[in-house]
Amino acid sequence: MLAQMFDMGTYGVYIWSAYGFSVAVLLFNVYRVIRRYKKVIKNETAS
């Protein structure tokens, strides 16, 4: 059952790569923006 869910009917590689890449892109952009915000706050409130 879990194997079928993972394989997605022989297309598993493509589907999981696609979803994996999307999650990675979405998470990376949140990380990037939050990191910038933290840096900006540090710069602006330190001086």
CA-to-CA distance for 30 and 4, rounded, in angstroms? 32
Candidates 30, 8, 10; CA nearest to 19 is 8
How many chain residues interact with other proteins (CB under 8 A)?
Answer: 26
Site string for other proteins, 11-30 (x = CB under 8 A): x--xx-xxx-xxx-xx-xxx
Does 34 bind other proteins (CB under 8 A)? Our answer is yes
CA-to-CA distance for 11 and 19, rounded, in angstroms? 12
Does 5 bind other proteins (CB under 8 A)? Our answer is yes
Positions in the binding site for other proteins (CB under 8 A): 5, 8-11, 14-15, 17-19, 21-23, 25-26, 28-30, 32-34, 36-37, 40-41, 44
